[in-house]
Every structure is written in structure tokens, then in C-alpha cells.
Structure 1
């Protein structure tokens, strides 16, 4: 996570190239707590001396954070392996696991839609967590409901709907999946520091094609909207 102060290319043989060890470690530690076996993808950012860390959370949300570094390539490794290497002060690149990365990334260019207050985004996430705890303990309408069903229903819930004003456009739905990704990866920063390192309070809602993103002070969460599938029924002929 950045604190204050499409085609792949060959990875640097000299090591992982990360110099923002504290920021990278914070990102990896949160990721590993959510998914111990998660891969993490390192890609050069648009600016020199910056590397983007990409990962996919268990609820299908991609998360990204930009940290200091000079990695010369695009490579995927085990998040736990890289975290361990950083923890012991090592500079080696863990064993590559490029085949484990199977998801597209959002386009590099996106359009701003709205800015949401950070405190409101955090409140939405906390309310969902409270609802899950209550429903797990007491059921819904007096009926017991499975933990996974409750979780999936909450994640699919549309938490925010925003409509672009300039230029006008269709409403953009922000599901709870994105909110949870942003908050649980720590991209809002500390509760007493809602403005983040850039001095701009709020969470930006952005769209890029079929992707919807929430961009916080320390990272972003992206979700690709499901593609509508057309089902054509098979027809049978009397004579084959």
C-alpha cells in the first residue's frame, strides 16, 4: 500500500525489486490472512520506481496497491512466499507461479463517477459484518440459514448506486463485494486518518468498460460485471 513519503515481460533475475517493504508487507499480510494460498502478481507501474501488486480475493474481487520498487518484469509468485522473503529481509524472487494467474485485469484507463465519504464506506462494511453476525446467531425471520448462503447474499447486495452527472450516464451499482475488498485490505487507512496520504478524503468510484472499481487512499478494488449470456435452445428435426 502506498503510504506517505497486458503482455508479460521477463522478470528481473536479480530479485523481487521491492523497496517499499513495509507497504508491500502490509498488503501481503492482509491477503494471506484472507487466503493463505493466494498468488500475487507484480507489474511495473506507469511511473518509474513503482510496482503494482495485484491479487484476487476469495469473493472474486481483484485488489491492487502500488508500492516502491524497480521490478523489471511482470511475474506471479505465492503471496505467502513473498511475505516470508520480505520478513527475513531477503531480496530473492520466490518461485514463479505465472500459471496460477488466470484472471484478466481491468483496463488501465478508467472514468470517474463519484466520490464517496470514507466514513460512509466504512460504515457500510461494518453494517454488513454486523448483519452477518446477527443472522448467523439468530437466523433470518426465525429460520436458520447457512453461513455461506448468508455471506454470498450479503456480498451480492448492492451497497451503493451512483449516477454520473458529467457526462450523464447509466447508474453504476457498487456491490458489497467491492466494499469489503477495499476495507478488509486496509485501503481506507486508519480510522483516525480518513484523508489518507494524498490529502483527499473519500473513495472514488470508477468504471472501465465492464469493470467497476473503488479507489481508496492505499489501494483499489475492482470487479468485472457478469457478462450476459444468451442461451439458444436446441431444435430437433423430425427426420434428424
Structure 2
């Protein structure tokens, strides 16, 4: 199969369709709302898709998968520049120039694509309600943003039940992951505000997965990841 980015230049992004272009643009819009100077990392995967990553500011990574490719295979660019290029290319199938490379601006490693164990599924409404409570606490305290103690607090415990060896896998989900999931708009809702639980279907779930190093929440529109070795007290029992 011909690489749609071939011959375009040193840097290029090609998306499979308009839906993928819209998805990536929405992801970048959320990223820029969190940080006007956000950097997005684009990484080509071997199954015909690319992953877009951003650092949310909650010490949590957020990722969105779209159909497409990127050249080079691992590239960091300014989120606002890529969003502008996507907007300017609406209605075309051409590869786009994502902007200047900013690889030096990315700090830290990415989670692996595989190696995660499914713990359990949690109703999305539960997580959004927790986020609402956290926002209310922050507002009542008159703080400019969530305090570090609240971000680190484990607000949900999820268990997988006993395995064949008789061991139970249990993980604690901290508020920082709940905030990041809501801020990125990864849970579908009928309203404009993803922090409103009433607009979320009762059967909509968020999948909790874990590895030795990472904790992961998968929602319909994207995933958030937390490195468990970051001193936040997370553990797998």
C-alpha cells in the first residue's frame, strides 16, 4: 500500500477520512483548552492507525486513536498548529504539514500498546459524578485549581474478583484521572458539558485496565493513563 505521506516533506499527517479529521480536531481543541501551549505527540502504529497523545496537566496522559499515518513515525508538534492545519484542510483528502517538530518539548515515556489486564467496567456516570463533586469541593474552597491532596486522593476502588490462583486484583483510581477523563470529553453525553452526569446513558461504561507500571481508563472517545510509579500511592493487590 502506498504511503499517503510519501514525498510530502519532512513531516506529514494523513488521515483516512473526514470522521478521523473531526475526531483529531476535537481532541486537539480539548488539549488547547487545558494548555494553550500544549504539545501533541503523534505515533504511528502497525495496524493502520495513529495515536495522538497529550499531557493533560494532571500528571495524566490522554490518548485518542484515529485511522491514518504520520511521517516520521513518532513526532511531536504544537497542538494549536496541527488543529489549524486540520481546519484549513477540511473537505480534502491530502496529507497535511503538522507544523514544526517539537520533540524536545515532550518529557517522559509513553505507555505500551499491550500488556494491560482488564480489571472491571465502571458506569461512566459514577466517574462524572465524582468529577462534579471534586469541582464543587475546589470551588467551595475558593481555590484556583484542584489542590494536590485532592488530585492524589483515590476516589474509587475497582476489583476484578478472584483469579484462578485465588488472588484479587484491586486498583485505586485517583481524582486526577477522573478530572482528566472529564476535561478531555472522552465520555459521550447528550449535553454540551461532559461534567453533567444526567446526559450520560446508564449503560455507558469506562473500562479500567492495569499493568505493572500504568493504570488506564478507556472511555468511548479516548483513554487516560497514569504512571503508578509516580509516588501517588497506587498499588495492585
Measured against the shorter chain, the TM-score band is 0.7 to 0.9
| Structure 2: 5+ residue stretches without partners | 1-7, 91-95, 191-198, 232-237
Q: Is residue 2:157 matched to residue 1:156?
A: no
Is contact 2:119-2:170 (8 Å) kept?
Answer: no
- 2:51 is the counterpart of 1:56: no
Structure 1 runs (4+) greater than 4 angstroms displaced: none
In the other structure, the counterpart of 1:189 is 188
Matching residue within 201, 207, 211 for 1:204: 207
1:125 maps to what in 2?
131
> Larger strand proportion, structure 1 or 2?
2
Partner of 1:108: 113
More displaced 10-residue stretch of structure 1: 59-68 or 14-23 = 14-23
The alignment yields a C-alpha RMSD, in angstroms, of: 2.2
Q: Is the 8 A contact 1:212 1:224 kept in 2?
A: yes
Distance in 2 between the 1:172 and 1:147 partners? 29
The 8 Å contact of residues 18 and 68 in structure 1, kept in 2 or not, is answered as: yes
- TM-score (ref. length: structure 1): 0.77
Q: Which runs of 5+ in 1 are unaligned?
A: 1-10, 137-145, 229-240
The CA deviation string for residues 16-61 of structure 1, in whole angstroms up to 9 with x for no partner, is 223411100000000001011111011123421x211011111210
For residue 84 of structure 1, give the secondary structure of its aligned residue in structure 2: helix
Instruction: Kindly name which structure, 1 or 2, has the bigger radius of gyration based on alpha carbons.
Output: 1
**Per-residue deviation, 1:151:** 2.4
What is the distance in 1 between the residues matched to 2:83 and 2:44?
A: 19
Distance 1:52 1:210 in 2: 20
Give the match's secondary structure for 2:14. Answer: coil
